[in-house]
Structure 1
Amino acid sequence: MKKLFVLFILLSLAGTFIAAVRKPAQQNDKAQYIPESKQRVGDAGAGFTYLTTGDYVKSGIPYDFFLLATGKPKKNYLARNGLNANISHEFTVVQSANGENLVAPNCLQCHAQVFNDSLVIGMGNSFSDFTPGRNLNRDAYTKLEEILRKNSPAKYEASKAFIQVAKTIGPYLTTQVKGVNAADRLAAVLAAHRDPLSFKWSGQPLLDIPAEVIPSDVPAWWLLKKKHAMFYNGFGRGDFGRFLMASNLLTVNDTAESRTVDNRIPDVLAYIYTLEAPKYPKPIDAKLAKKGEIIFIRNCSKCHGKYGANEEYPNLLIPASIIKTDSALYKSNYQNEQFVEWFNKSWFAQGDHPAKLVPYSGYIAPPLDGVWSTAPYLHNGSVPNIEAVLNSKLRPSHWQRDFDKPQYDYEKLGWQYKIPSAQTGNTVYNTTLPGYGNYGHYFGDKLSNKERAALLEYLKTL
């Protein structure tokens, strides 16, 4: 029965959207500035409440079934009360139209992580498991459907929308290794089954769904307040709220329902803008860090910005010819142009605060606030620590971390790992697989060992 609930982790789409967009216009080999888009203003306090207790996902699994399968969490990280006190921070109890209590996934599935026994909201969850055997299958949902239909028609009616969608999308969502995210794939599958203007669900796909599942690492939410565009290749433009509410596509009945969520999303964005990166908790060699700052300004700040008293962030897209990292993600974002057409004519692109997708062959150079804490690195999570980001010779082709008792390396800045004796298994990151490559971003290779050590020390201060 526990397998019936694993799909909940697949929901959070706020960190990424749509796995395919139109082939980009001709671009040169120079970095491109991303113009700023005006964002709606909201109430941060109300945003936190809505994020952690709101019904932006309207359906789910009956509350008593959920507790029977999962039990109560060991710790109530959000200090929620009522029924929410009995479930993990990754879920929210919502009430259906017929009065049934349902457990629905929330955004913290992907956008929060327990780090040093504390929940860090906004930290990308690098422990999600989308590997085969952890994914839900159609038979499991069919069995749940039969149980509810026979024993509790009211609960079935309340859960029907979630079960219907889950039975459809489950088979599409698998990754090769634990710890990476499949949200791009989920977004594409949901879009393929919904009318772009009404959001009405279709049991059969209305668009061809690409075969590949491209892995990604979830970016930190606290970076968003500096950015002019969302997602790794900066193709989420316009109103950020429209992208943040994309999880609503899982169970939404129509766009009238989406409008109620849309009215609350500016509050969530306002809350996200209040998030700050965690501070490095260990001693820092101030003298060495100062040397590292000089090296950073000379070698890194043009793309990643400056920090401290004269803080600035350039908002630059870096073309593939310069960054040279794995191309599968940005290529997937324009090889199937029907998806950009779907989005850019959809309800999301309408009204007085529209969003749009703008493709690009390359990736955005992100801000580095709290970068010491956001392992693994590169857009697909293929590099275990910053030391190896700065020296490509140290990047392992196969590496394995302990997901049960994870240990952080506060000197190399990343997860402790080992080189596995066997190169297979769902906890072994295999960088030879398509989309999982650890190449590119070779800028640190030209530095000396002493310069890299100083730079690493400086990055602890961000």
Structure 2
Amino acid sequence: MKKLFVLTLLGCTCLAFSTVFRGHRKEEPVAIPASPQRVGQKDKGYQYLTTGDYIKSGIPYNYFLLGFGKSLSNLLKRDSPNHLISQEYTAVKAANGETVVAPNCLQCHAQVFEDKLYIGMGNTMIDFTDHQKLNARNASMAEAILKKGDPKKYAAAAPFLQSMKVLGSQLYTEVRGVNSADRIADLLVAHRDPATLQWSDTPVIEVAAGLIPTDTPPWWLLKKKHAMFYNGFGRGDFGRFLMASNLLTVSDSSEAREVDSHFNDVLAYIYSLEPPKYPHPINQSLAKQGGIVFVENCSKCHGHYGQDGDYPNLLIPESTVKTDSFLYKSNYQSPQFIDWFNKSWFAMGDHPARLEPFNGYIAPPLDGIWVTAPYLHNGSVPTLEALLDSKTRPAYWSRDFSNPQYDYEQVGWKYTREAAPRGTAVYNTTLHGYGNYGHTFGDKLTDRERRAVIEYLKTL
């Protein structure tokens, strides 16, 4: 799940169609066909998402409260023992009956925005930069303490600590606010047998070097999409991808099957999510003008909206969109990862999933785009204003994570343009995978047209 996982795995080769145009090869967008999905009961899905044991190992409950402290907000209104735990974690029973606290999907797929929790909104406050907390040494220390003090609690925590020793020192991002879920997936499958999903201390495949960051897309877009992830390579059964966070602690494929049996309900809940409405007055006359400009310039890729709307599910070649290519290229540089997934338990049975890489990215639906800053697949552009006018994009920029403020005029996070990189506090677009170039389609618009399109986007 994106977000513990946003699986950037690879599959069968899927290249853009090419035509000859004035002697040059011109790649064309590729339409993604729909796949049948299992959809269950949304209420059951919500309960499993927020209280279920899809990750069955973690930190023993009392140790967690001592180390992380009690959360008194209880934003999910959960009963005991979850009433003292942040929405990012869930208290579950381990196999031996011990209560442990495990991370859940809302670590990446929920965010508090202006004092309200929105499930399904990508967590753009997440921090994978902290070398002091996120390291294998801390996992080893916790393991030693539990082994000595309480063998039963250690047994309950062991699968989680085992994974954290592998993950801990290899998940660092260069700046705060971007996600390392693809890297998590890389590392976890490298230590799992593809058929049985059992753990192997010795890696079963080679892990590609480097971490390519991603933004976390909102869940409410999934109901329109025929494929998952920014490059649209997650095909087949969505539930199989959504439940893959279970790889963190799964014992074997029999446990995976039990977890998988709940994710048709989770998908039903995700399909029920709607984006929050823009909370301020909208200039309807300007928005109407913007809608006309949008249809003429943007709808071919991003679709039409309203009662008779449609979404084309198009993969856009890199030669057209020209955004940072390191994410989609990372797929092709890790064929062993693709092969693992497409021969694994996830690709078996009556509702399999598969991975099909592509030289480019999917043009996403834009529902609720006003609240999903920062923009592009790596979160490199802070506002819609800058997205639609590439010459205004800052090479280095920062925002206030302790007291975040939203800019309802430029639509996005209020930010400070910086003169140079400055640790993890400043987004540095000159780094590999962090580039803010490409998607220059708005540059041809006049300032008036650009303002009108932004006003229209507030209505979606």
* TM-score for both structures, normalised by structure 1: 0.96
1:306-321 equivalence runs, <5 A: 306-321=304-319
Amino acid at match of 2:227: A
> Is the 8 Å Cα contact of residues 238 and 353 (structure 2) preserved in structure 1?
yes
> Is the 8 Å Cα contact of residues 15 and 219 (structure 1) preserved in structure 2?
no
Asked if 1:16 corresponds to 2:13, the answer is: no
1:145-184 equivalence runs, <5 A: 145-184=143-182
1:157-236 equivalence runs, <5 A: 157-236=155-234
In 2: Cα distance, 1:356 partner to 1:230 partner: 11
**Paired position in structure 1 for 2:280:** 282
Asked if 1:92 corresponds to 2:90, the answer is: yes
Shift of 1:18: 3.1
**Paired position in structure 1 for 2:340:** 342
Alignment partner of 2:263 out of 257, 262, 265: 265
**Paired position in structure 1 for 2:238:** 240
Shift of 1:16: 1.7
In 2: Cα distance, 1:292 partner to 1:426 partner: 37
> Deviations for 1:230-257, whole angstroms, at most 9, x for unmatched residues?
0001000000000000000000000000
**Paired position in structure 2 for 1:109:** 107
1:403-414 equivalence runs, <5 A: 403-414=401-412
For structure 2, the residue ranges without an aligned partner over 5 or more in a row are 19-26
> Deviations for 1:408-460, whole angstroms, at most 9, x for unmatched residues?
00111100000235522111000000000000000000000000010010000
Shift of 1:23: 5.5
Amino acid at match of 2:385: E
Shift of 1:312: 0.7
In 1: Cα distance, 2:4 partner to 2:223 partner: 15
**Paired position in structure 2 for 1:50:** 48
**Paired position in structure 2 for 1:352:** 350
- For the aligned residue pairs, the C-alpha RMSD in angstroms reads 1.3
Aligned residues: 452
**Paired position in structure 2 for 1:325:** 323
> Deviations for 1:247-280, whole angstroms, at most 9, x for unmatched residues?
0000000000000011100000000000000000
In 2: Cα distance, 1:119 partner to 1:247 partner: 22
Call closer, same or farther: CA 1:156–1:81 in 2, change over 3 Å: same
SS at match of 1:64: helix
1:422-441 equivalence runs, <5 A: 422-441=420-439
> Is the 8 Å Cα contact of residues 22 and 337 (structure 1) preserved in structure 2?
no
In 1: Cα distance, 2:420 partner to 2:360 partner: 33
SS at match of 2:416: coil
Alignment partner of 1:451 out of 446, 449, 452: 449
In 2: Cα distance, 1:14 partner to 1:40 partner: 22
In 2: Cα distance, 1:13 partner to 1:117 partner: 22
SS at match of 2:366: coil
In 2: Cα distance, 1:18 partner to 1:321 partner: 21
In 2: Cα distance, 1:137 partner to 1:324 partner: 35
**Paired position in structure 2 for 1:365:** 363
Please say which of residues 248-257 and 305-314 is displaced more in the overlay.
Answer: 305-314
> Is the 8 Å Cα contact of residues 13 and 356 (structure 2) preserved in structure 1?
no
Call closer, same or farther: CA 1:135–1:25 in 2, change over 3 Å: farther
Amino acid at match of 1:391: D
> Deviations for 1:107-126, whole angstroms, at most 9, x for unmatched residues?
00100000010000000000
> Is the 8 Å Cα contact of residues 190 and 207 (structure 2) preserved in structure 1?
yes
> Is the 8 Å Cα contact of residues 396 and 420 (structure 2) preserved in structure 1?
no
> Is the 8 Å Cα contact of residues 138 and 171 (structure 1) preserved in structure 2?
yes
In 2: Cα distance, 1:274 partner to 1:298 partner: 30
Shift of 1:309: 1.9
**Paired position in structure 1 for 2:24:** none
> Deviations for 1:380-419, whole angstroms, at most 9, x for unmatched residues?
0000000000000110000000100000001111000002
**Paired position in structure 1 for 2:22:** none
For structure 1, the residue ranges without an aligned partner over 5 or more in a row are 1-10
In 1: Cα distance, 2:264 partner to 2:11 partner: 26
Shift of 1:136: 2.1
In 2: Cα distance, 1:22 partner to 1:351 partner: 18
